[in-house]
Every structure is written in structure tokens, then in C-alpha cells.
Amino acid sequence: MSSKLQKDAPVLIVGGGPVGMTMALCLAKRGIASYLVELRTADALPDVKCNHIASRSMELFRSLGISQDLRAAGLPDDYPHDVSYRTSTLGEEIARIHIPGRTTRLTDHSGPDGNWPTPEPPHRLNQRYIEPILRRHVQKQALITCLHRHQVMAFSQDEFGVTAQIQNLELPDTPALTLNVAYMVGCDGGRSMVRKGIGAKLVGDEVVQRVQSTCIRAPHLKALMKAPPAWAMFTVNPKRSGNIYAIDGKEVWLIHNYLRDHEADFESVDRDWAIRTILGVGDDFEYEVMSKEDWFGRRLVSDKLQQGRVFVAGDAAHLWVPYAGYGMNAGLADASNLAWHLAAQLESWASPTALSAYEKERHPITEQVSRFAMDHAHAMSKRRREIPDRLEEDSPLGAQARVTFGQDLYDLNVQQYCCAGLNFGYFYDQSPVMVYDDESAPDYSMGSFTASTVPGCRAPHFWLEEGHSLYDALGPAYTLLCFKPELSAGPKAFEVAAAKANMPLKILDVSGHQELPLEYRHHFAIVRADAHTVWRGDQVTAENAKHIVAKLCGF
């Protein structure tokens, strides 16, 4: 490589799934061009994998102008997004977690996630619908160059940039294309060549569960259900446990069959028998297999997320059992976070050492969330071994067993399907570009959290006016929230210090809002574009404003 690399684009993104496309869109919003390299064709549909967009992800998509398109897609308007536990898909319902469908999502506050402090509640939507919507937005962006049916074959880097050799898979005999970029990001999945190329390894638990997944077309299934339909329907009976997700709310369904400990391998379980037992149908019920996959649930996290100018995100950085729907959603958080840090470098206002913040912020979170998911997988596996023998019995004892076991399943699973902690509770407590104080962030779990303005935490949401969120008003880098601007020269001091450092800073006076969350106890707070608080305080002078700005720039 030459000592001064001529850049073809600032960023090369390897992998054009939801994480890679979101990364490109986040960069484009900041005016930064990227190449997006994807193995598949431009019109390829993904497997029916992720079925859920978390609230934090919907907040991110709101900032990109995509949330309304996503919310309008998927299940029919009136189809409930509930989670139902049954003796079989067509059997007796023993528990139901109420989650409103599209029509009432923004008005029905009766469910366990109905009053979440967010402008964007979660949305149940399969990845088969997510990717085409993201792709349309990517294709509208002149700053994003998509190379479909291309593959990164090799790359190298030095202190000035990254050089990648890219092969056109439709023309395999042609010479590889050479791209020179400032940074490269691997969003290329669990078998990531980028992760391997930087010498990173996945560390953790190789096998947490074994699952047979089958996507079927069964147009008559919904009409045969004894209980009202739901987005997710779990079968719990002594013969076979599994779950079925509604993909289109009409005829396409995704079935997961969980292998038991004594079952040697995937071939030892008859797939058709398992499907019929989970559904609760006989041999005369007709269905069509659209696709099938056998997979291992794992808990693996890359031992590093960065080497020099090369990074990994999404499944390339972490793989875990898909409880709480947080595989893709954690990847989207990676993309948002890393795009922000890369933009700070490419806009030339942050120290090069500030790039270490990506790994220091995201790695502890992915490690912790992966353990939440694994612990929940073990708890559910234990419940599947404890299914009462009388659960399907038509007797008073059977009825009591269904009530008791149903309540147990509700209490265990409401925390993963209405996971406020994973959405709003995680915090960055090891970042080199945050100004911490003496207060520690509140603990959080999968299901619960305590709102806080401690630096590193998500700044509590509030409405500025009808339909206009605090998050809608945040600037592209940092925003100074002024709750009592008249009490000091703080706004002016920060404005001057930021201008001298060339650090983008928006000043937002929120002192006139009457219903501010009680957590905002300080006169000022600085919030990053990803809604994390990075500093708070009462008194500001020219000198400490200078030091705070320097810290936020990584100096």
C-alpha cells in the first residue's frame, strides 16, 4: 500500500443485510459516502429469521425517516401481535401476553409495553419485509454505491486506509476490483471473513439449544384455531414443544421445533411428526414446506470488534439464541454507534483514539445481553422439561394445571417479549468520550430498567410538542439541553468551546416544557445523537466547557 492512499470512498461495508444497510443509511445521513458489498442479488429475499424490531431500533429508524414505512408493513392491520401459550396451536390457550397490533399500537396502553417512554413502540415484522424496505431507502441514496453479487476476497490496511479486492460473482473470470477506503466494516454474518481477517475469534458457549425451523404455507390453519390468532403461538405439551410465528397473518408460518436433550441429532426427529404435533393436526392436514433449516442456538461474542481501521458489527460480532429478538436489534445498535464514531473521524473533529469507544461501549453490552438471552433459553428449556402430564387432560386437575403453568409461562416470558431493560436500560460505563460523575448507572435486567441521566445512559424521552419527540430535535453530533439556561453562561461557553474544537453542537432550550421527566435534575445535559447522555451539570465556565468539549472529542 502507498503511504498516502487515494480513497475511492470513506467507508466499505461488507454485507448488505439489515445491519449493513442501516450502517450505510446512518453514514449517508451525515453526508458520508460508502460502498455496500453484498453476495446476494438486489432482489433476493432473506430467510424468515428475525421477527421483531425493538423500540430502540424503531427510534433509530425514525431518525432515518423509515419507521413509518416499517410500521405499515407485515401483518394485517387488525392482526394481534400477542404472544399465546397453548397445548397446541389448535388447542387450549393457557396464557396470553397482550401486545397491540398495528391499528391500536399507538393508542392501546393496556399491555405490559403500552406505556413505554418512547415515541416509537416496538413492531413485530419479519426480516423478509424489513430488508426490501431498507433496500428501497438505500437505493434512493446517491451516497451509497451497492455492489450486489460481489464478494470481498481479501483486504489489507495501514495507518492511512484499507485496500480491498472485490470479485464480481457474475463475472468470475474478470480481474478483481480494487477499492481504497478510509475504513471497512464487516457486517457479513456469523461466518464473517472480515472477523477472521482481523484475527478475532468468537468466544462463549457453542451450543445452547438445537432447533429445527420450517417455514410452511398452510392457508387453512388460522380458521381452525380454537383461540384467537397471535403473532407468536407456543405449544407446550408433554409430547413436543415448539412455537409458530405468523409471517403474513394469513397463510405463511414459521415453526421452531426444540430438540430435547436425549435426542441425538436433527435426523433423529421426524420433522413432519414434530410439525403436526406442535400444530395439533392429524395426518390429513395439508401444508407446504417453503423452506427449512436446522440450527444451533449459541452464545458467542467476538473477542475484539476492531483492528486498526477495520471493524465488525452485527452477527459478525455476536451470535446468540434469538430470545427477545435481540440478534438483529443488537446489530442495528452496533451500526448506529459505529456510524456515529466513524462520522466523527471523517468530519475531522475527533481524536483518532476516540475510535476505541466503539469497542469499549458495545462489547460489554453485547456480552451482557448475550448472557441474558442464554439464561432465558436455559429457563425455557427447564420449563419444557417440567410440563405437567395433566396439561391436556379434560378434568378439574387438568384445568388447574393449565392455570398454574400458564401463569408461570407468562411471568417468565413477559420480560423477553416486553423487554424494557434491553431497550432502554443498557448504558456505556467505559467510554473514553463521556464525562462521568460520581453517580453510578442504575442496574437493569432483560425486563426492567430505571430511567436515568447518568452519563452513558439513554436520555429519558419526553415530548416537545404534539408528535415531536426530544429525539427528533437532537443534532447530528451533540446537543446541549438547557433546562435553566438563564442561571449561568453555560450555553455561550459551550458554543465557543465547541466552535474552537470544530465539534458540532446544537443548543436546545427546553426550559419551557412543563412535563419534563424527574430524572432531569441538572441545569444542563449534553446528549449524543444516539440519545445517550454524555455529560450533565449545573455550573459552566469557559474553562470547564473547554475541558468537557475536549473529552467529548477524545482528547
CATH number of the CATH domain containing 499: 3.40.30.120
Same domain, 444 and 530: yes
> Are the CB atoms for 310 and 276 separated by under 8 Å?
no
- Domain count across the chain: 2
Question: CB neighbours (10 Å) of residue 355?
Answer: 22
- Residues 529, 535, 539, 542: is their CA dihedral positive or negative? negative
Q: Could you tell me if 43 and 167 lie in one domain?
A: yes
Q: Mean of the per-residue pLDDT values for the chain?
A: 93
For the stretch 136-150, pLDDT in tens is: 999 999 999 999 999
User: How much is the pLDDT for 284?
Assistant: 96
Q: Are residues 18 and 157 both part of a single domain?
A: yes
Decide if 244 contacts 233 (C-beta within 8 A): yes
Assess whether 345 and 460 both reside in one domain. no
Task: Give the three-class secondary structure for 401.
Answer: helix
Higher pLDDT, 208 or 337: 337
Q: Closest by alpha carbon to 50, among 328, 296, 256, 243?
A: 328
- pLDDT band of residue 292 (cuts 50, 70, 90) is very high
Q: Which residues of 227-263 are buried (b: 16+ CB within 10 A; e: fewer)?
A: bebbbbbbbbbeebbbbbbbbbbbbbbbbbbbbeeee
Are 533 and 447 within one domain? yes
Task: Name the residue with cell 397491540.
Answer: 100
Residue 285 CA to residue 277 CA, distance in Å, equals 11
CA distance 511 to 523: 9
Examine the domain organization and report whether 43 and 139 are in the same domain. yes
Same-domain status, 478 and 548: yes
Statement to judge: residues 451 and 309 lie in one domain: no
Region 437-460: what's the mean pLDDT? 96
Task: Provide the residue type at 541 as one letter.
Answer: T
When comparing pLDDT for 431 and 325, which is higher? 431
Q: Flag whether pLDDT at 64 surpasses 90.
A: yes
For residue 339, what is the enclosing H or E element?
Answer: helix 326-346
Residue 298 pLDDT > 90: no
What pLDDT is recorded for position 514?
A: 75
Lowest mean pLDDT across 352-356, 414-418, 471-475, 482-486: 482-486
Is residue 259 a part of any domain in this protein?
no
Residue 356 confidence (pLDDT) above 90: yes
Residue 208 covered by a domain: no
Q: Is 47 a domain residue? A: yes
Q: What percent of the chain has pLDDT over 90?
A: 84
Q: Is residue 490 part of a domain?
A: yes
How many of the other CB atoms lie within 10 Å of CB of 296?
14
What is the pLDDT, as a whole number, of residue 483?
A: 93
Instruction: Write out 406-435 in H/E/C secondary structure.
Output: HHHHHHHHHHHHCCHHHHHHCCCCCCCCCC
Domain edge (last residue) among 333, 355, 371: 371
Chain center to CA of 419: 12
- On whether both 343 and 440 belong to a single domain, the answer is no
The domain of 481 spans 427-552
Distance separating alpha carbons of residues 59 and 51, to the nearest angstrom:
17
Q: Find the CATH number of the domain harbouring 355.
A: 3.50.50.60
193-to-51, 286, 322, 452 alpha-carbon distances in Å: 26, 42, 23, 39
Q: Identify whether 390 is part of a domain.
A: no
pLDDT tens readout for residues 184-202? 999 999 999 999 999 999 9
Q: Are 255 and 275 in contact (CB under 8 A)?
A: yes
Cell representation of residue 335: 451500526
Per the domain annotation, does 267 fall within a domain? no
Q: Are residues 446 and 519 in the same domain?
A: yes
Average pLDDT, integer, range 241-265: 93
pLDDT digits (tens, 9 = 90+) for 21-55: 999 999 999 999 999 999 999 999 888 778 899 99
Backbone angles phi, psi at 335, to 5 degrees: -60, -45
Q: pTM of the entire structure? A: 0.95
Is residue 343 located within the same domain as residue 435? Answer: no
- Contact assessment for residue 448 and residue 421, using Cβ atoms and an 8 Å cutoff: yes
In a domain, 306, yes or no: yes
91 is a domain residue: no
The SS3 call for residue 220 is: coil
For residues 324-346, average pLDDT: 92
Q: Any bridge partners for residue 289, and if so which?
A: 216
Cell of 497: 468551546
d(CA 404, CA 407): 5
Largest CA distance in the chain: 80
Distance in angstroms (rounded) separating the CA atoms of residues 97 and 509: 40
pLDDT of residue 471: 97
Instruction: Give the cell for residue 288.
Output: 407446504
Contact 341, 358 (CB under 8 A): yes
Task: Assess whether 334 and 459 both reside in one domain.
Answer: no
* pLDDT of 82 strictly over 90: yes
